[in-house]
Amino acid sequence: MVEVVQMSLKEADRYAVIQQVIERTMGQSDAALWLNISVRQVKRLARAIRLSGAQGAVSKRWGAPSNRRIAQAVRERFVGLVGEH
């Protein structure tokens, strides 16, 4: 069965580069320069991809609401005030 994982283009690029690191066709330091991240982050991503597959490259916050969103009650109040004036 084929696993379908939804990811952004940036995450897809990261996945492809980290796959090369896992296959040992690219070094960790080269991957870090390519992705503009630290070697430590490359190691962390490689570990996550080895354990979880493509899902390891995807942000864990995917689909979750923003921490900075405005509460619905506050939004409705201000939209009502703007509508009055």
Residue 45 is part of which domain span? Answer: 7-59
DSSP state letters, 3-30: ------HHHHHHHHHHHHHHTTSS-HHH
Question: pTM of the prediction?
Answer: 0.70
CA 58, distance to chain mean position in Å, is 4
Does residue 27 lie within any of the structural domains? Answer: yes
Cα separation of 42 and 22, whole Å?
10
pLDDT, tens only, 40-51: 999 999 999 999
Residue 84 belongs to a domain: no
What pLDDT does 59 receive? 83
Q: How many structural domains is the chain composed of?
A: 1
In a domain, residue 28? The reply is yes
Q: Cα-Cα-Cα-Cα dihedral of 56, 60, 63, 66, to 10°?
A: -150
Tell me whether residue 41 is in a domain. yes
pLDDT digits (tens, 9 = 90+) for 1-38: 667 778 889 999 999 999 999 999 999 999 999 999 99
CB-based contact 56:32 (threshold 8 Å): no
Q: Give a yes or no: residue 80 inside a domain.
A: no
65 in a domain, yes or no? no
